[in-house]
Chains A and B, each alone.
Chain A
Amino acid sequence: MRSFNYHKPDTVDGVVSLLAGNENASVIAGGMTLLPTMKQRLAAPDDLVDISGVAGLAGVSMDGDMLVIGAMTRHADVAESEIVREKLPALAKLASRIGDQQVRHRGTIGGSISNNDPAADYPAAVLGLNAEIVTDKRTIPADEFFVAMFETALEPGEIVTAIRFPLPELAAYAKFPNPASRYAMAGVFVAKTGDGVRVAVTGAGPGVFRASDIEAALAESFDAGALDRISIDASELMSDIHADNEYRAHLVMVMARRAVGMALDAG
Chain B
Amino acid sequence: MSAVIGIGSSPKRKEDARFVRGKGTYVADIKRPHMLAGVFLRSEHAHANLKSIDVSKALAQPGVKAVYTGEDMKADDVGGLPVGWGITDKNGDPMKEPPHPPIAQGKVRYVGDAVAFVVAQTVEQAEAAAELIEVEYEVLPAIVGLVDALRPDAPQLYDEVENNLCADWDLGDAAAVDAAFAQAAHVASIELVNNRLIGNPLEPRAAIGEFEYATGQYTLWTTSQFPHVVRLLMGEMVLHIPQHKLRVVAPDVGGGFGVKQFHYAEEAVVTWAAGKLGRPVKWVAQRSEGFVSDAHGRDHVTEAELALDEDGKFLAMRVKTLANMGAYLSTFGPNIPTNLYAPLLSGVYTIPSIYCEVKCVFTNTVPVDAYRGAGRPEATFVVERLVDMAAREMGIDKIDIRKRNMIPKEAYPYQTPVIVEYDSGDPLGCLERAEELADVAGFEARRAEAASRGKYRGLGISTYIEACGLAPSRLAGQLGARGGLYESATVRVHPSGVVTVLIGTHNHGQGHETTFAQIVSDRLGVPFEDIDIVFGDTDKVQFGMGTYGSRSLVVGGAALSHASDKVILKGRKIAAHQLEASLEDIVFENGEFSVAGTDRKKSFQEIAGAAYVPFDFPLETLEPGLEEQAYYDPVNFTYPGGAHFAEVEIDPDTGIVTLERYTAVDDVGTIINPMIVEGQLQGGIVQGIGQALFEHGVYDNASGQLLAGSFMDYCMPRADNFPQLKIEPHSTQCAHTPMGVKGCGECGTIGSPAAIISAVVDALKPLGVAHVDMPASPNHIWNIIRNAPAPIAAE
Interface residues of A (CB under 8 A from B): 1-3, 40-41, 176, 178-181, 183, 240-244, 247, 250-251, 254
Contacts and interface: CB of A to CB of B under 8 A. Distances in A.
26 contacts: A2-B124, A3-B124, A41-B127, A176-B654, A176-B656, A179-B694, A179-B715, A179-B778, A180-B694, A180-B714, A180-B716, A181-B713, A241-B696, A241-B698, A241-B708, A241-B713, A242-B713, A242-B715, A242-B777, A242-B779, A243-B778, A243-B779, A244-B779, A247-B778, A247-B783, A250-B782
Contacts of B412: none
Contacts of B17: none
Contacts of A254: 653-654
A101 to B, nearest CB: 12
B582 interface: no
A234 B68 CA distance: 49
Nearest to B128: A2
Contacts of B128: 2
Given A243-B778, A254-B653, 14 more contacts: A2-B124, A2-B128, A41-B127, A176-B654, A176-B778, A180-B713, A180-B716, A181-B712, A183-B712, A240-B713, A242-B715, A244-B779, A247-B778, A247-B779
Contacts of B653: 254
Contacts of B694: 179-180
Interface string B666-700: 00000000000000000000000000001010100
Given A3-B124, A241-B696, A242-B777, A180 B654 contact: no
Q: How extensive is the interface on chain B, given as a class?
A: 20 to 34
Contacts of B714: 180
Contacts, number: 50
A196 B9 CA distance: 67
B285 to A, nearest CB: 13
A241 B713 CA distance: 8
A180 B711 contact: yes
Interface string B185-203: 0000000000000000000
A181 B711 contact: yes
B452 interface: no
A178 B778 CA distance: 10
A116 to B, nearest CB: 17
Contacts of A250: 782
Contacts of B56: none
A40 B287 CA distance: 10
A180 B715 contact: yes
Interface of B: 124, 127-128, 131, 288, 653-656, 694, 696, 698, 707-708, 711-716, 777-779, 782-783
Contact of B777 (A1, A2, A179): A179
Contact of B654 (A3, A41, A244, A251): A251
Contacts of A178: 712
A125 B634 CA distance: 64
B73 to A, nearest CB: 26
A40 B713 contact: no
Nearest to A258: B653
Contacts of A3: 124
A88 to B, nearest CB: 26
Among A176, A240, A247, find the residue whose CB has the most chain B CB atoms closer than 10 A.
Answer: A247
A244 B777 CA distance: 12
Contacts of A244: 779
B122 to A, nearest CB: 10
B196 to A, nearest CB: 12
A180 B711 CA distance: 6
Q: Top 9 nearest A-B pairs by Cβ distance?
A: A180-B715, A181-B712, A179-B715, A247-B779, A254-B653, A243-B779, A241-B698, A241-B707, A180-B713
A241 B712 CA distance: 11
Nearest to B288: A40
Among A2, A41, A178, A179, find the residue whose CB has the most chain B CB atoms closer than 10 A.
Answer: A179
Contacts of A241: 696, 698, 707-708, 713
B641 to A, nearest CB: 31
Contacts of B713: 180-181, 240-242
A250 B652 CA distance: 12
A178 B779 CA distance: 10
Nearest to B122: A3
A176 B654 CA distance: 9
A139 to B, nearest CB: 34
A240 B653 CA distance: 20
Contacts of B655: 247
A1 B712 contact: no
A250 B707 CA distance: 24
Contacts of A179: 694, 715, 777-778
A193 to B, nearest CB: 27
Nearest to B775: A179
Contacts of B707: 240-241
Nearest to B782: A247
Contacts of A242: 713, 715, 777, 779
Contacts of B783: 247
Contacts of B696: 241
A50 B655 CA distance: 43
B166 to A, nearest CB: 28
A1 B126 CA distance: 11
Nearest to B693: A179
Nearest to A179: B715
A40 B713 CA distance: 16
Among A40, A242, A247, A250, find the residue whose CB has the most chain B CB atoms closer than 10 A.
Answer: A242
B346 to A, nearest CB: 35
Contacts of A243: 778-779
Contacts of B698: 241
A62 B127 CA distance: 49
Contacts of A183: 712
Contacts of A180: 694, 708, 711-716
A242 B713 CA distance: 8
A181 B696 CA distance: 14
A175 to B, nearest CB: 11
Contacts of A41: 127, 131
A19 B106 CA distance: 47
A3 B655 CA distance: 46
B236 to A, nearest CB: 38
